[in-house]
Amino acid sequence: MENEILHLTSLAQTATAVADLGSQVSQTLLTTNNVWMMVATFLVFIMHLGFAGVEAGFTQSKNTVNILFKNTLTPAIGLISYALIGFNLMYPGGEGFIVNFAGFNLGPGADYDSLGYADGGYTYWTDFLFQGMFAATAATIVSGAVAERIKINGYLIFTVLFVGLVYPIIGSWQWGGGFLSTYGFYDFAGSTLVHSVGGWGALAGIMILGPRLGKYANGKVNDFPGSSVPLATMGVFLLWFGWFGFNGGSVLSAEPETVSKVLVTTSLAAACGAVGGYIMAYFTFKRLDLGMVLNGVLAGLVGITAGADLMSPYEAMIIGLISGGLVVLSAIAMDKLKLDDCVGAVSVHLTCGVFGTLAVGIFGTMAGWSQFVIQLVSILACGAAAFASAMLIFFVIDKAMGLRVSAQHEKEGLDSHEHGMRGYTIVYE
């Protein structure tokens, strides 16, 4: 009897020790995963500096302060809107066009357990901040496309509504467990849900605003010189750097094999995007066009984002190369249609976002006709919702308070009229 009691005691102690060890392992995994997710969040945040550099560099010097003003307030307002409304709209998601809304409170519920949240991958707070950075990115895409002729207040109102309502509702259809997720749609890090949604918003803004004065005159397309090619180049490299967090963080854990592979496919696509932009621009314009090479990098990054975890390195290279060529052709088509996009945002984020999402059904481990159809239908659903919503928002703002600055302000520059300062000042002694 005594031996049985000792045996049971020993088993109980062993079970307790095993449970303690399991708890320690779970806590260690949570800490490791959460640290990587926070690092990825910081990298996505840096992308806003990249967008600021690209947009300020590619636009005219007389509008530099205006551009930087928007790019500073976009992540600020976007994050606030997402905290108050967007995050609770997006998670949990909705079914069809009906969304579950948990209220304006930001914070986990009373039954919150960090080890049980997101399968122990990261905390609630990390989840919010990572997703909030994605949300603000969608609005930043719009900023560059409509630059140099949009009123600041109109743009900021659009940002609040687009980030607070449109982006999270569409995102909930897939990432929030909504009907697109059930349908079988796949968008790893947001070629459609972030980039195409932002691209559709940019296209709507361009159409409502119209082209800049003198952009299309006497049957010609007039290029306006950017303020700083070096600044635009640094901006692109910052975006490439930030994309390691954008795609790498979308693994939603620090699982080494998957994260490493995603970083490889992301970089190879970017590299081949640069080559694709270089080759297509050379054969099209008969010159070595740095702007198209830079946008080719971004095109490759957008193109791989939907399936970065599904593609082999060689498939990622093909996707990047095609994306780099597409961004050049898309920019030419935009000018033929007299759609004035100051930085090529629609060509980069919408055109290549659509292609990258379709590529999931063409390349990689999910390739197949049925998946291609699913991807296409889902793109159309998201596109219709994003474009119609953005058109409605811009239209109402335009009718209510005016969306475009005066011709005088546009000619003389928005910096002096709206901000009372210049982005570049040369002082002669």
In a domain, 13, yes or no: no
In a domain, 307, yes or no: yes
Tell me which H or E stretch contains 217.
Answer: strand 216-217
- pLDDT tens-digit series, residues 4-49: 665 555 555 555 555 554 556 566 788 889 999 999 999 999 999 9
Q: What is the pLDDT of residue 23?
A: 54
In a domain, 259, yes or no: yes
Reported pTM: 0.90
pLDDT band at 88 (very low <50, low <70, confident <90, very high): confident
Residue 118, both tokens: 């997101």
**DSSP character for 112?**
-
Residue 293, both tokens: 């090479």
Residue in 294, 345, 338, 301 with CA at minimum distance from that of residue 323: 301
Find the domain containing 104 and state its range.
41-108+116-419
Q: What is the pLDDT of residue 426?
A: 63
In a domain, 426, yes or no: no
Residue 16, both tokens: 């307790």
In a domain, 249, yes or no: yes
- Higher model confidence: residue 104 or residue 52? 52
Measure the CA–CA gap between 199 and 13, rounded to whole angstroms: 60
Report how many domains make up the chain: 1
Residue in 209, 238, 247, 250 with CA at minimum distance from that of residue 397: 209
| 279 has a pLDDT exceeding 60 | yes
Measure the CA–CA gap between 215 and 359, rounded to whole angstroms: 34
Contacts of 376 (CB under 8 A, 6+ apart): 358, 361
pLDDT band at 139 (very low <50, low <70, confident <90, very high): confident
In a domain, 229, yes or no: yes
| 219 has a pLDDT exceeding 90 | no
In a domain, 18, yes or no: no
Average pLDDT, the chain: 89
- pLDDT tens-digit series, residues 382-422: 999 999 999 999 999 999 999 999 999 999 989 888 888 88
- pLDDT tens-digit series, residues 120-136: 678 889 999 999 999 98
Q: What is the pLDDT of residue 99?
A: 46
| 98 has a pLDDT exceeding 70 | no
In a domain, 22, yes or no: no
Residue 285 and residue 315 in contact, taking contact as beta carbons nearer than 8 Å: no
Q: What is the CATH number of the domain that holds 158?
A: 1.10.3430.10
Q: What is the pLDDT of residue 94?
A: 37
Residue percentage of the chain with pLDDT more than 90? 73
